[in-house]
Structure 1
Amino acid sequence: MTFERFTQWAATSRSSALVVIFAAGGVVWLSAASVPWVTVPTIIDPDRGLVSVLAGVAGVLGALAATLAASILLARLQTSGGVLGYPGRLSHQIYLSHVIFTAGTRVALVRIGIVDPATHLALGTAAGIAGPLVLEQVTRGLPWLFAPPCATRRAATTVAGPRHG
């Protein structure tokens, strides 16, 4: 399916059909993810067989279908703000400073004796998003903090030297 055909299909499909695709894809993905003998298609495992790889492919396609359906449904909300709009507009700031907050959360959790991976994942992700958003608010008066200086942009072109040929 080409991008144009997918876009046309996404624009004309009913929301109820997208909800069904989301639910069915999620069920297929969760079913494949919960079975221990299913092999992810890209992993090299000497014990994998055709059935385990096909089940892995089905799980991946289910996850892909669910993700695409959810994306189309969210895009139909047509809001530029909201819960996802604000962090989306500040994704650069989140990208640049999330490591400080996720690592700090991990260190703090280990020091107080919490070693559960699910807790680390949930709290680390929350801190890795919320921390940079707070940092952006606090440092709003420093526009240079999240932007490269002009000298850096200029240096990138001069390091390579003049082009020959």
Structure 2
Amino acid sequence: MKKELRNSWVDHAKALGIILVVYGHVARGLVSAGIMHDSDLYRLIDSVIYSFHMPLFFFLSGLFFFESRRRRGISGTLATKIDTILYPFIVWSIIQGGIEVSLSNYTNGSLAWRDVFQMFWQPRAQFWFLYALFFVFALALIIYKSQSSRSILTVLAISSAAYILQGLLADHRIILYIADNFVFFALGVAFTHFSLEDRTGNRDALVKCASVVLLVFIALEIALHSTGKNYTDKGFISLSAAMAGIFMIVFISMITACAGIRILGTLGAMSMSIYLIHIISGSGARILFGKIMGIHDPSTHLALGTLAGLFIPLLAALAMNRIGMNFLFAPPKLLSAGRRLERLRSAPQSNPR
């Protein structure tokens, strides 16, 4: 598969993932606000989405792990992740937390500033993902000693066992985040290493693959939910369902990339900005439509809230970058760990006498 198409389908996969993220959070907000009924159908859809949409992002993060480590080295990759993951985690945890504290009388929650600054050991809302992803990357830099097939498959097998048996592990936030998500990162590493994306063939082959995986995904979701369980019940079936959901999105993304659907490419390229801001815009839309405009229809709220959660952050991020406020998404030179490392590497070394 050509490199351009490869990068394109990854953006499309991010777009489909972020659409599911925004929809899920908007729907949960409507239920919490009493606008939408907490029905069996809602809980089923919620569980199906949450069974694979965040594992998808860990999978996508693993795709370029070895490429990044080869280009930047271990210290350079870690410095990059400090800039691209840890920095926005801190900045937007404070921004969103501050807004929630100020508007607690109008939203679903009651938050104090002390809760905001517990982020380093108790990340809030959607920011748990960035918190967990940073530790997943840090662990990956330690345990991937080589790019051999045996090493990659061993890590995938061990991380799969950790996921299935996580109930036996110590009840520590970071340990559970890693046990719950590292397997999907490892799956992304393996997917790239074995060049599985190059074996999918043409569009007709992709459609056939997507159809088969969709049927497997549906069967696994039925197996999971027919027993009264949901996405929080970790085990072999939930792991299999998550992996099937990931590959379903992968094949669909390859199809949409071949079709050249530009809006998905745009949403995918801006998925981090959308992820950081969508709770603010989605909650704001719910307040605007419900308490100011008097709209109470759940379907209208769900549709408009999802659109607001996707496109307001996209436009806001573009506007911030244009007026020189990109420091909200990436650290300025003075605070950049990557730039500090570059300066250290390029500094002349004094010769010992």
Range of TM-score over shorter length? 0.5 to 0.7
Q: Distance in 1 between matches of 2:305 and 2:290?
A: 12
| 1:18 maps to amino acid | L
Q: Shift of residue 107 of structure 1?
A: 2.2
**2:277 counterpart residue number:** 97
The 5 A counterparts of 1:57-72 are: 59-72=241-254
Name the structure 2 match of 1:132. Answer: 313
Post-superposition shift, 1:85? 2.5
The 2-side partners of 1:21 and 1:120 are apart by 35
Distance, in Å, in 1 between the alignment partners of 2:246 and 2:198 is 18
Question: Normalising to structure 2: TM-score of the pair?
Answer: 0.32
Deviations 1:29-70 (A, max 9, x none): 2344455326357516xxxxxxxx666555434323312222
> Does residue 199 of structure 2 align to residue 12 of structure 1?
yes
Name the aligned partner's letter for residue 86 of structure 1.
T
Cα distance, 1:37–1:149 mapped onto 2, change above 3 Å? same
| 1:22 paired residue number | 210
Give the one of 142, 159, 163 matched to 2:323.
142
- Give unpaired runs (5+ residues) of structure 2: 1-152, 154-189, 341-353
Is the radius of gyration larger for structure 1 or structure 2? 1
Measure, in 1, the Cα distance between the counterparts of 2:245 and 2:270: 27
Residues 134 and 40 (structure 1), Cα distance of their counterparts in 2 relative to 1, 3 Å cut = same
- How far apart are 1:153 and its partner, in Å? 4.5
Question: Is contact 2:285-2:308 (8 Å) kept?
Answer: yes
Unaligned runs of at least 5 residues, structure 1? 45-52, 158-165
* Deviation for aligned residue 1:109: 4.2
Alpha-carbon distance between aligned partners in 2 of 1:130 and 1:150, rounded to the nearest angstrom? 29
Identity of aligned residues (%): 23
**Contact kept in structure 2, 1:38 and 1:55, CA below 8 Å:** no
Q: Which has the higher contact order (CA 8 A, sep 6+)?
A: 2
Preserved contact between residue 28 and residue 62 of structure 1 (Cα < 8 Å): yes
Instruction: Spell out, residue by residue over 1:103-162, the C-alpha distance to the aligned partner (whole angstroms, 9 max, x if none).
Output: 11222344335363x6554432211111122324545541125444455558xx9xxxxx
Q: 1:50 is matched with which residue?
A: none
- Secondary structure at the aligned position of 2:305 is classed as helix
Q: Does the 8 Å CA contact 1:41/1:56 hold for their aligned counterparts?
A: yes
Determine the C-alpha separation between the residues in 1 that align with 2:241 and 2:301. Answer: 26
Structure 2 CA distance, aligned partners of 1:61 and 1:90?
A: 24
Residue deviations 1:6-30 (CA, integer Å, cap 9, x gap): x2x3213323232122122223323
CA distance in 2, matches of 1:123, 1:31: 32
Q: Which residue of 1 aligns with 2:47?
A: none
Q: How far apart in 2 are the matches of 1:58 and 1:153?
A: 39
In 1, Cα distance between the equivalents of 2:216 and 2:250?
14
> How far apart, CA to CA, are the structure 1 residues paired with 2:297 and 2:281?
17
Equivalent position to 2:255, from 50, 64, 73: 73
Q: Report the count of equivalent residues.
A: 142
CA separation of 1:108/1:133 partners in 2, compared to 1, >3 Å: closer, same or farther?
A: same
Q: Is the 8 A contact 1:25 1:64 kept in 2?
A: no
Q: Which has the higher helix share?
A: 2
Equivalent residues of 2:282, 2:309 under 8 A apart: yes
Quote the residue 1:87 is aligned against: 267
